Amino acid sequence: MKRNNFFLLTSILFLAFPGIFVFAKKDQTDDNRFVSYTMNIKKQDVKFYWKDDKNKNFGSIQNLKLWLEKNKRTLVFAMNAGMYKPDGSPQGLFIENQKTSSPIDTSSGNGNFYLKPNGVFYITTDNIPIICPTPDFKDNGKIKYATQSGPFLVINGQIHPGFKEGSANLNIRNG
Protein backbone atom coordinates (compact mmCIF):
# COMPACT_ATOMS: atom_id res chain seq x y z
CA MET A 1 0.00 0.00 0.00
CA LYS A 2 1.39 3.45 -0.82
CA ARG A 3 2.65 5.43 2.18
CA ASN A 4 0.08 8.25 1.68
CA ASN A 5 -2.81 5.80 1.39
CA PHE A 6 -1.55 3.92 4.44
CA PHE A 7 -1.34 7.20 6.35
CA LEU A 8 -4.85 8.26 5.33
CA LEU A 9 -6.42 4.90 6.14
CA THR A 10 -4.52 4.52 9.39
CA SER A 11 -5.17 8.07 10.53
CA ILE A 12 -8.89 7.65 9.92
CA LEU A 13 -8.96 4.41 11.85
CA PHE A 14 -6.16 4.86 14.38
CA LEU A 15 -7.09 6.64 17.55
CA ALA A 16 -7.97 10.01 18.95
CA PHE A 17 -5.28 12.67 18.67
CA PRO A 18 -5.01 15.61 21.06
CA GLY A 19 -5.69 18.78 19.19
CA ILE A 20 -4.92 18.04 15.58
CA PHE A 21 -6.02 20.79 13.27
CA VAL A 22 -5.62 20.61 9.51
CA PHE A 23 -6.64 22.25 6.32
CA ALA A 24 -8.50 19.44 4.59
CA LYS A 25 -11.14 18.48 2.04
CA LYS A 26 -14.19 16.54 3.17
CA ASP A 27 -14.66 13.27 1.31
CA GLN A 28 -18.07 12.20 0.08
CA THR A 29 -18.90 8.58 0.82
CA ASP A 30 -21.96 6.40 0.53
CA ASP A 31 -21.44 5.14 4.09
CA ASN A 32 -22.84 7.83 6.38
CA ARG A 33 -21.36 6.17 9.48
CA PHE A 34 -18.04 7.79 8.66
CA VAL A 35 -16.94 11.33 7.98
CA SER A 36 -13.48 11.50 6.48
CA TYR A 37 -11.17 14.20 5.22
CA THR A 38 -8.27 13.98 2.80
CA MET A 39 -5.22 16.18 3.08
CA ASN A 40 -1.73 16.28 1.70
CA ILE A 41 0.66 16.92 4.57
CA LYS A 42 3.32 18.14 2.12
CA LYS A 43 1.00 20.88 0.83
CA GLN A 44 -1.40 21.54 3.69
CA ASP A 45 -0.71 22.84 7.16
CA VAL A 46 -1.13 20.46 10.10
CA LYS A 47 -0.69 21.75 13.63
CA PHE A 48 -1.33 20.43 17.12
CA TYR A 49 -2.56 22.92 19.71
CA TRP A 50 -2.95 22.63 23.46
CA LYS A 51 -2.35 26.07 24.99
CA ASP A 52 -2.54 29.66 23.81
CA ASP A 53 0.24 32.27 23.94
CA LYS A 54 -0.62 32.95 27.60
CA ASN A 55 -0.09 29.25 28.46
CA LYS A 56 -3.81 28.69 29.02
CA ASN A 57 -5.48 25.47 27.80
CA PHE A 58 -7.78 26.15 24.89
CA GLY A 59 -10.35 23.86 26.46
CA SER A 60 -12.58 23.81 23.37
CA ILE A 61 -12.42 24.01 19.62
CA GLN A 62 -14.46 27.23 19.79
CA ASN A 63 -11.78 28.86 21.99
CA LEU A 64 -9.09 27.77 19.56
CA LYS A 65 -11.09 29.11 16.60
CA LEU A 66 -11.53 32.49 18.29
CA TRP A 67 -7.85 32.66 19.23
CA LEU A 68 -6.78 31.84 15.67
CA GLU A 69 -9.15 34.47 14.26
CA LYS A 70 -7.72 37.02 16.70
CA ASN A 71 -4.29 36.10 15.32
CA LYS A 72 -5.45 36.50 11.69
CA ARG A 73 -5.59 32.76 10.95
CA THR A 74 -8.50 30.59 9.83
CA LEU A 75 -9.43 27.23 11.26
CA VAL A 76 -10.62 24.97 8.44
CA PHE A 77 -10.87 21.59 10.18
CA ALA A 78 -10.35 20.55 13.79
CA MET A 79 -10.77 17.51 15.93
CA ASN A 80 -10.50 17.24 19.66
CA ALA A 81 -8.94 14.03 20.71
CA GLY A 82 -6.60 12.12 22.91
CA MET A 83 -6.92 11.28 26.52
CA TYR A 84 -6.71 13.97 29.13
CA LYS A 85 -5.98 14.06 32.84
CA PRO A 86 -8.48 15.79 35.15
CA ASP A 87 -6.51 19.05 34.87
CA GLY A 88 -6.90 19.04 31.06
CA SER A 89 -3.28 18.11 30.34
CA PRO A 90 -2.53 15.34 27.85
CA GLN A 91 -2.29 11.76 29.05
CA GLY A 92 0.99 10.58 27.60
CA LEU A 93 3.26 12.12 25.00
CA PHE A 94 2.57 15.54 23.55
CA ILE A 95 5.10 17.44 21.41
CA GLU A 96 4.28 20.81 19.88
CA ASN A 97 6.78 22.66 17.69
CA GLN A 98 9.55 20.23 18.72
CA LYS A 99 8.97 20.91 22.43
CA THR A 100 7.88 18.03 24.65
CA SER A 101 5.13 19.26 26.98
CA SER A 102 4.13 15.85 28.31
CA PRO A 103 6.38 12.75 28.40
CA ILE A 104 5.58 9.40 26.86
CA ASP A 105 3.64 7.04 29.13
CA THR A 106 4.75 3.42 28.80
CA SER A 107 3.13 2.21 32.01
CA SER A 108 0.12 -0.08 32.37
CA GLY A 109 -3.19 0.81 33.90
CA ASN A 110 -6.95 0.77 33.51
CA GLY A 111 -9.03 2.58 30.90
CA ASN A 112 -8.90 3.06 27.16
CA PHE A 113 -5.50 4.76 27.11
CA TYR A 114 -3.87 1.64 28.54
CA LEU A 115 -5.74 -0.85 26.33
CA LYS A 116 -2.82 -2.26 24.34
CA PRO A 117 -1.61 -1.61 21.85
CA ASN A 118 -1.72 2.11 22.14
CA GLY A 119 0.45 4.34 20.03
CA VAL A 120 1.96 7.59 18.94
CA PHE A 121 1.04 9.70 15.93
CA TYR A 122 3.79 12.11 14.97
CA ILE A 123 4.93 14.40 12.22
CA THR A 124 8.61 14.86 11.54
CA THR A 125 10.32 18.15 10.73
CA ASP A 126 10.31 16.89 7.11
CA ASN A 127 6.47 16.65 7.25
CA ILE A 128 6.42 12.87 7.26
CA PRO A 129 3.43 11.49 9.20
CA ILE A 130 4.05 8.31 11.19
CA ILE A 131 1.92 6.13 13.44
CA CYS A 132 3.65 3.56 15.61
CA PRO A 133 3.01 1.47 18.69
CA THR A 134 4.17 3.25 21.86
CA PRO A 135 7.16 0.92 22.47
CA ASP A 136 8.48 1.67 18.95
CA PHE A 137 8.52 5.48 19.35
CA LYS A 138 11.95 7.13 19.45
CA ASP A 139 12.41 10.89 19.68
CA ASN A 140 15.35 11.59 17.41
CA GLY A 141 15.07 15.37 17.82
CA LYS A 142 13.27 15.71 14.48
CA ILE A 143 9.71 15.37 15.78
CA LYS A 144 7.66 18.50 15.02
CA TYR A 145 4.38 17.27 16.56
CA ALA A 146 3.47 14.11 18.44
CA THR A 147 0.64 12.78 20.50
CA GLN A 148 0.11 9.48 22.25
CA SER A 149 -3.26 7.87 22.68
CA GLY A 150 -4.94 4.56 22.74
CA PRO A 151 -5.98 2.11 21.92
CA PHE A 152 -5.36 1.44 18.25
CA LEU A 153 -8.81 1.07 16.71
CA VAL A 154 -7.67 -1.22 13.90
CA ILE A 155 -4.75 -3.65 14.05
CA ASN A 156 -3.57 -5.37 10.86
CA GLY A 157 -6.89 -4.65 9.17
CA GLN A 158 -8.99 -6.00 12.04
CA ILE A 159 -11.05 -4.10 14.60
CA HIS A 160 -9.25 -4.10 17.97
CA PRO A 161 -10.41 -7.23 19.86
CA GLY A 162 -11.31 -5.05 22.87
CA PHE A 163 -14.19 -3.58 20.85
CA LYS A 164 -16.59 -6.50 20.91
CA GLU A 165 -20.30 -6.63 21.56
CA GLY A 166 -21.01 -6.02 25.24
CA SER A 167 -17.68 -4.23 25.72
CA ALA A 168 -17.50 -1.01 27.71
CA ASN A 169 -15.35 0.36 24.85
CA LEU A 170 -18.08 0.99 22.27
CA ASN A 171 -18.19 4.80 22.34
CA ILE A 172 -18.06 6.80 19.11
CA ARG A 173 -14.40 7.42 18.22
CA ASN A 174 -12.49 9.85 16.10
CA GLY A 175 -9.04 9.31 14.75
Predicted confidence at residue 9, as pLDDT, reads 35
Positions in the chain whose pLDDT score sits under 50: 1-23
Q: What is the pTM of this model?
A: 0.77
- Output the CA torsion sign for 83, 85, 89, 95: negative
CA proximity to 93, closest of 18, 22, 168, 1: 18
Half-sphere exposure of 20 (CA within 13 A, CB side): 27
CB atoms within 10 A of CB 49: 20
3-state secondary structure of 101: strand
Predicted confidence at residue 107, as pLDDT, reads 94
For 32, 36, 63, the CA distances from 49, given in Å and listed in that order, are 29, 21, 11
